[in-house]
Structure 1
């Protein structure tokens, strides 16, 4: 069973030390109402049959909220009560043996404090890792502290999700940003709270900010209101060569990069100039437009500023000449919003292949599931989506006839950047059908 990363976002681990005049079941339900995404029942001293009764009760409660329910350490009881999973530490039963006992249907979480332990746990069948203690904690006196550098190394070394645990609360959670973790496991921050539901809502909001998020923007038709200049460019270029454009020219050029268009002009129209010369000629024809006339699409500047304030790393991926795009972005005051302006020419492939999106991901240093590709062209949306990216399709009049297909294919559809953009509000549970 694979562990979805969002499962670990806010992971509550029980401790009855703070039950007081309430019940553990009541505390767990308050946490569920507050938005916890996973619950682990930890009981070290309870008689087995009492533990089983409690586990059955809380399992039913968790499932009514659609939240995975796991047992700490006790493999036999986890199997008996048909829990969704089991979590074991380094001093408990070895991960490989646990996996043999529980089969493939149950989740297996394993604690790790070193890269070596993490890699070994994944090798032996762990579905996720709990790494810590990342801060000093009073709930587990013998917990070995893990530095944030080690936490980053562990996240890079494994392909399974990782959550941090140990001493985490509202005041220090921000220190875990951009370490690579997929969530946090909390004990006292949840169960010692006098207002569990309210505090869990706040903790969930903080947990959503921990991952470095990224955005890859197409330029023409997405950021720039520039598609009109391309409508007749191919025909105008051919006329400068004394050639008559065919009726299907616009359709032929629609999904081609400049290099691909140059190759098409050579093969279909017999132009003997090199591809580089053809591209230089075309760029020369449109240079003044990009350098002095092209404008941003409505709402783009405010939207980019909002994303930058939210620490979302951004990159441009375009089929147009790099110098022209950089000049257009600079003149419109948004060039410094981006880590890089990346072109199809640089990666050696058009957007009918995913190379440019993959290179943008490498530049941003973000995970694919935390990176949104913004595109107006159906073929580019299709490429990015097929390669596993989250895709926001952006309306442009030049692709009005493709709007229905863009809506169906993309994760989000944006009519205008002037409207409220909610794409980055919550990973994997977005709704941006603007």
Structure 2
């Protein structure tokens, strides 16, 4: 059951991007499908499950090691950037209720930032086009921090940069592993339903203070 008291004395919120604020995870699955097909490799949905927790660089390394792609990490990342740039710049949309909820947090002077494994250029393109970039103090990426979300570093750095206590900071995420890490560090947590992580929804709901299917559910706070 959702515990809305977790919003009491809330100082800051840290938002994941893909699958949390943006309805974008299917874009990356399609990129994986097309890229592997160009090398005659059949796509398996378990690939997306394995790499969604990795940084951009780690995902490129994974493709080289697992599929023997004859490209360097830098070349693979550039290939991917070209495939997805137009989607972030022109097409990807917010999940339902996002803008209203961000406006609500801003009205309460709650600090907000983004912690993402996404390419920063792509993230900024989408956030600016969708007119929500001004809500965030900054956008921090796993690449900048040097650790993926199997580690708490990006969350701890974000809370530190916002000068917010961990226990008064809430993490919004669609990834079970990241939510488990955040919970262990003492953050408040809100799990977000996403199609690609729906198989983890039951486990996410069990460990989080809140679990929502879309941000309209938070109108009750």
Asked if TM exceeds 0.5, the reply is: yes
Q: Which has the larger radius of gyration?
A: 1
- Cα distance in 2, alignment partners of residues 354 and 243 from structure 1: 37
- Greater RCO, CA 8 A, separation 6+: 2
- Cα distance in 1, alignment partners of residues 219 and 155 from structure 2: 22
- Change in CA separation of 1:252 and 1:415 when aligned onto 2, cut-off 3 Å: closer
Q: How does 1:66-85 map to 2 (within 5 A)?
A: none
Deviations 1:369-422 (A, max 9, x none): 110000011111112112221111011222221111010011111222112356
Residue 384 (1) aligns with residue 182 (2): yes
> Shift of residue 271 of structure 1?
2.6
Indicate the residue corresponding to 2:217 in structure 1. Answer: 419
Q: How does 1:1-400 map to 2 (within 5 A)?
A: 213-240=11-38, 242-245=39-42, 247=44, 248-400=46-198
> Shift of residue 249 of structure 1?
2.5
SS at match of 1:372: strand
> Shift of residue 245 of structure 1?
3.4
The structure richer in helix per residue is 2
SS at match of 2:216: coil
TM-score (norm 2): 0.90
Superposition RMSD on alpha carbons, in Å?
A: 1.9
- Cα distance in 1, alignment partners of residues 165 and 125 from structure 2: 29
> Gaps (5+ residues) in structure 2?
1-6
> Shift of residue 312 of structure 1?
0.3
- Change in CA separation of 1:373 and 1:251 when aligned onto 2, cut-off 3 Å: closer
SS at match of 1:304: helix
Indicate the residue corresponding to 2:4 in structure 1. Answer: none
Cα contact 1:212–1:366 (8 A) shared by 2: no
Deviations 1:207-242 (A, max 9, x none): x98x670000000111111111122322212233x2
SS at match of 1:420: helix
Deviations 1:164-209 (A, max 9, x none): xxxxxxxxxxxxxxxxxxxxxxxxxxxxxxxxxxxxxxxxxxxx98
TM-score (norm 1): 0.47
- Cα distance in 2, alignment partners of residues 386 and 402 from structure 1: 18
> Shift of residue 348 of structure 1?
0.9
Deviations 1:60-79 (A, max 9, x none): xxxxxxxxxxxxxxxxxxxx
- Cα distance in 1, alignment partners of residues 118 and 165 from structure 2: 26
- Cα distance in 2, alignment partners of residues 216 and 421 from structure 1: 19
- Cα distance in 2, alignment partners of residues 421 and 387 from structure 1: 27
Cα contact 1:394–1:413 (8 A) shared by 2: yes
SS at match of 1:419: helix
SS at match of 2:172: strand
SS at match of 1:391: strand
> Gaps (5+ residues) in structure 1?
1-207, 426-434
